[in-house]
Structures are given as structure tokens and as C-alpha cells.
Amino acid sequence: MARLQIVFAAKDPHRVAEFWRAALDYGEEPPPPPFETWEAFLKANDLPLDTGDDIDSAIDPEGVQPRILVERDEPHPRGAVHLDVNVNSRDTPSAERRLNVDAAARRFEGLGATKTRVVDEDGRYWIEMTDPEGNWFCVQ
């Protein structure tokens, strides 16, 4: 089953994420197990320590409502809000991730969506699409 994520484009991701955490009684997202801190996660994955400067999130402490992701998009965000349709979980083996994304994109195309961009960089893979009315969303 796919899970929904709401994505905001912002000049200051941390400020916007703080707002939504307070407004919805959401919390900060912890690093994935087994990491105690985001810094430890970044180091273990050979990512620059400033990686988190361009992104922040807010999560429902009960794990029921959608995750909110806020990413930097300057100087003018191309879309204030879009949806991410997450067809993979953190536990999905990397060999299956691309197959799941491609299968979901084909399904959405059959429903009337249009593929607009494929992003395959730095070990990340997702497909940007538009719905039949041109509303932007990502499959990841």
C-alpha cells in the first residue's frame, strides 16, 4: 500500500516545519534505526553534515497522519505544495525500490497521469508526474 506525504517548498524549511509541528501537534522526525542522531546517520552514509540544512519534516507522533516534508526551493518555489506517493518504506531493499517506483508510475499513467521527469542521482530515485489536470506529484 502506498503512503501519502505532503511536501512544501520553502525558502526556510526549518521555519515552515516548526510551524506545522506546532500547528498539528506533530513532532520532529528521529533518525532511522540504529542511529541515535542525524549526524551519525549522515556520517555513516558519507553525506555532507550540512545535508539537513535544505530539508526538515514533521511527523504525527501516533504514526497515523501523513508525514510533512519541507524542502528548500529557491529563489521561487515551483509549486508551494505537492504530494509524494511513497511506494517504498525505509525497509524496502534497494533492489526493489526502483521496480516499485516504475510499476507505480506505469499504473498512474494508465489512470491518466503524465510522467514529467525521472530523477536518478546520488543513490536516490523518483519519478515526477502530473495528474490529469496538471497537478504535480512525485512517486518514490
Q: What is the pLDDT of residues 64-88, one digit of tens each?
A: 999 999 888 865 555 677 888 999 9
* DSSP assigned state of 66: P
Q: Where are the domains of the chain?
A: 3-139
Q: Which residues pair with 82 in a beta bridge?
A: 7
pLDDT at 140: 92
Most confident of 11-20, 62-71, 88-97: 62-71
Is the pTM above the cut of 0.75?
no
* CB proximity list for 34: less than 8 A, separation 6 or greater: none
Q: Which residues pair with 81 in a beta bridge?
A: 8
CATH number given to 3-139 = 3.10.180.10
- What confidence tens digit (pLDDT) does each residue in 31-60 have? 989 999 999 999 999 988 888 788 999 999
